[in-house]
């Protein structure tokens, strides 16, 4: 007998629903995937990538971790990025964070969470560099809110500065990097105005100096 039977029941109902609407759906999908988008998002259970942008299986390549970080030595994230860009030839890489991110909030507190403090250190580094801006904000909630945005912008820059993306742009491959934020309170996405399409876009932003 299977454990967690309700999840298998949900799965059967889901597969049946899709097959009913499109009998060839799974067979076609099994032959190949050709997503146009790579989503790099937070692991938070409240930010389900496919659902919030209304994309079906096969349409979104997804990598998620705590606080949607793109670390230059994270082989997991880099392998996803390399495969998405060089093999799947995605046209867009979307770094999507969210307001109320627990990882970002924890980064503004004293380190005390064990191993994950090393991970959150990357966000603390952003907070340190942007201390003047953050300190000028009225309260802790406002600082968390802004740091969620700054973190997304920083991670989009981290994507853009990987050799994977730099090489793609040198080859003339069209791939754009976006920074988006999701609001848990209304389910809506916002574009933070980050759209990097070439090396000049990265160099042109003083924010990332
Ligand atoms: Co989060």
DSSP designation for 92: E
* pLDDT at residue 205, as a whole number: 55
* pLDDT at residue 209, as a whole number: 37
CA 21 – ligand 1 centroid, Å = 34
* pLDDT at residue 137, as a whole number: 98
Which residue, 59, 77, 162, 169, is CA-closest to 119? 77
Render each residue's pLDDT in the chain as its tens digit; 209 residues: 679 999 999 999 999 999 999 999 999 999 988 999 999 999 999 999 999 999 999 999 999 999 999 999 999 999 999 999 999 999 999 999 999 999 999 999 987 878 899 999 999 999 999 999 999 999 999 999 999 999 999 999 999 999 999 999 999 999 999 999 999 999 999 999 999 998 788 875 545 43
CA 172 – ligand 1 centroid, Å = 33
CA 105 – ligand 1 centroid, Å = 9
Distance (Å, whole) CA 48 – CA 143: 25
Distance (Å, whole) CA 103 – CA 163: 27
Which residue, 22, 59, 54, 61, is CA-closest to 38? 61
CA 120 – ligand 1 centroid, Å = 11
CA 119 – ligand 1 centroid, Å = 13
* pLDDT at residue 203, as a whole number: 72
* pLDDT at residue 1, as a whole number: 64
| Catalytic residue positions, numbered | 42, 44, 46, 98, 101
Which residues 6+ apart lie within 8 Å of 17 measured at CB? none
Residue 144: exposure state from Cβ atoms within 10 A (0-12, 13-18, ≥19): buried
* pLDDT at residue 112, as a whole number: 82
């Amino acid at each position: 007998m299977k454990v967690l039977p309700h999840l298998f029941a949900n799965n059967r109902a889901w597969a049946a629903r899709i097959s009913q609407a499109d009998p060839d759906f799974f067979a076609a999908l099994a032959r190949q995937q050709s997503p146009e988008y790579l989503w790099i998002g937070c692991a938070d259970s409240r930010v389900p990538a496919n659902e919030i942008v209304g994309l079906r299986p096969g349409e979104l390549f997804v990598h998620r971790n705590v606080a949607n970080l793109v670390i230059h030595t994270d082989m997991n994230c880099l392998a996803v990025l390399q495969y998405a860009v060089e093999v799947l030839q995605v046209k867009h890489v979307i770094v999507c964070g969210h307001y109320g991110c627990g990882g970002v909030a924890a980064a503004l507190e004293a380190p005390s969470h064990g191993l994950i403090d090393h991970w959150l250190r990357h966000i603390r580094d952003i907070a340190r560099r942007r201390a003047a801006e953050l300190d000028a904000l009225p309260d802790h909630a406002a600082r968390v809110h802004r740091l969620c945005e700054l973190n997304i912008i920083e991670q989009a820059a981290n994507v853009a500065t990987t050799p994977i993306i730099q090489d793609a742009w040198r080859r003339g491959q069209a791939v754009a990097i976006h920074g988006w934020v999701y609001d848990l309170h209304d389910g809506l996405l916002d574009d933070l105005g980050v759209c990097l399409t070439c090396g000049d876009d990265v160099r042109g932003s003083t924010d990332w100096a």
